[in-house]
Amino acid sequence: MTKTSKIYIAGHRGMVGSAIWRALESEGYTNLIGKTSKELDLRNQKAVNDFISTEKPDVIIDAAAKVGGILANSQYQFEFLLENMQIQNNLIDAAHKQDVSKFIFLGSSCIYPKLAPQPLKEDYLLTGPLEPTNDGYAIAKISGVRLCKAIRDQYGKDFVSLMPTNLYGPYDNFDLKSSHVLPAMIRKFHEAKNVNGQELSKVNSQQSTVTLWGSGTPMREFLHVNDLAKAVIYAVENKLPEHLYNVGTGTDVTIKTLAETIQKIVGHQGEIVWDTNKPDGTPRKLMDVSKMNHLGWTAAISLEEGIKDTYAWFLKHEDSFKEVKM
């Protein structure tokens, strides 16, 4: 690859895609292309194939997906399974038909079995049952991994899958009905300490209680999206020897510790209540990232530093979230 190689980023307006775009630009790549969902419906096979045939990119980075937290995943299994398979299948098939040089498929740590040994190794794929609350999304992503492997094995093409752990950062989704745990906590704690734009502690009122799902005991690993972007750039610039790589920090925290960290950074001083009638999800999801580390990539942003960065971004864009109802 050269700095002028044409790189198409599917989902370039999302949290992951936009981070990859910014990272590539900062590294001097000058020929980046992207289309909004209104300009190109990735669920439409003909439209996707026509686009790839016309643009003829050297690299496709698939950062497009229908995503959500436990609530959205459990309520809309059909849509999460169908639409994600449509998106990735159309992109992978078009890349194969149009002889695209490199394809980077992005998935999620949820592809691994719910009760797989920790930390999660790439070899654990398809060795046990999945977490039921995000079964549809996980099966879709597993099918994408296997499709890229099949093309790699059968045709010798440079198709690789990167499986990040739980991601967060600028341009995250802060809608409490569909967001993941970290951005949802940021918004909950922020809104609990503010009324009509004023901090409750400054108007002599007690800050609101924050209710969170589950017991707080599950452990999760979190990766700042800018670190993932650096891993993608590594995959762009190098031919990786295997088809599947985990991307994470290699360390995890309890959900309770995460909540207390966010509460401290946001400045909320009220009580945290754990609703144990709500599901915890998978007990633990820690990634074994030794394969990527041995290749030369490691995560650089600490969890506290990353949360501070994300909260600062949230504050700058708070007005855009006010119309989203809780």
Which CATH number goes with the domain that contains 11? 3.40.50.720
How many Cβ atoms sit within 10 Å of the Cβ of residue 268? Answer: 26
Quick: pLDDT tens for 24-36: 999 999 999 999 9
Quick: pLDDT tens for 261-314: 999 999 999 999 999 999 887 788 899 999 999 999 999 999 999 999 999 999
Question: Considering the domain boundaries, does residue 290 fall inside one?
Answer: yes
Q: Which amino acid is at 194?
A: N
Work out the average pLDDT over 140-166.
97
The catalytic residues are 137
| pLDDT value of position 324 | 43
- The answer to whether 15 is a known ligand-binding residue is yes
pLDDT band at 206 (very low <50, low <70, confident <90, very high): low
Work out the average pLDDT over 313-319.
93
Question: Considering the domain boundaries, does residue 196 fall inside one?
Answer: no
Which of 67-71, 90-94, 165-169 is least confident?
A: 67-71
pLDDT band at 10 (very low <50, low <70, confident <90, very high): very high
Work out the average pLDDT over 148-174.
96
pLDDT band at 325 (very low <50, low <70, confident <90, very high): very low
- The answer to whether 152 is a known ligand-binding residue is no
- In three-state form (DSSP H/G/I as H, E/B as E, the rest C), the secondary structure along 116-185 is CCCCECHHHCCCCCCCHHHHHHHHHHHHHHHHHHHHHHHHCCEEEEEEECEEECCCCCCCCCCCCHHHHH
Domain that includes residue 146, residue range: 7-168+222-252+285-301
Which positions ≥6 away from 103 have C-beta within 8 Å? 59, 60, 62, 91, 92, 95, 148, 151, 157, 158, 159, 160
CA distance linking residue 136 with residue 76, whole number of Å: 8
Quick: pLDDT tens for 102-129: 999 999 999 999 889 999 999 999 999 9
What percentage of the chain reaches a pLDDT higher than 70?
94
Question: Considering the domain boundaries, does residue 184 fall inside one?
Answer: no
> Which run of H or of E encompasses 68?
none
Which positions ≥6 away from 157 have C-beta within 8 Å? 96, 103, 151
| pLDDT value of position 226 | 98
- The answer to whether 26 is a known ligand-binding residue is no
Which phi and psi (to 5°) does residue 212 adopt? -120, 150
Question: Considering the domain boundaries, does residue 321 fall inside one?
Answer: no
Please state the domain count of the chain: 1
**Average pLDDT value over all residues in the chain:** 92
Question: Considering the domain boundaries, does residue 278 fall inside one?
Answer: no
Asked if 259 contacts 212 with a C-beta cutoff of 8 angstroms, the reply is: yes
- The answer to whether 141 is a known ligand-binding residue is yes
- The answer to whether 306 is a known ligand-binding residue is no
Question: Considering the domain boundaries, does residue 272 fall inside one?
Answer: no
| pLDDT value of position 179 | 81
Question: Considering the domain boundaries, does residue 74 fall inside one?
Answer: yes
* pLDDT surpassing 50 at residue 326: no
Integer CA distances (angstroms), 151 to 30, 158, 223, in order: 28, 9, 29
Question: Considering the domain boundaries, does residue 231 fall inside one?
Answer: yes
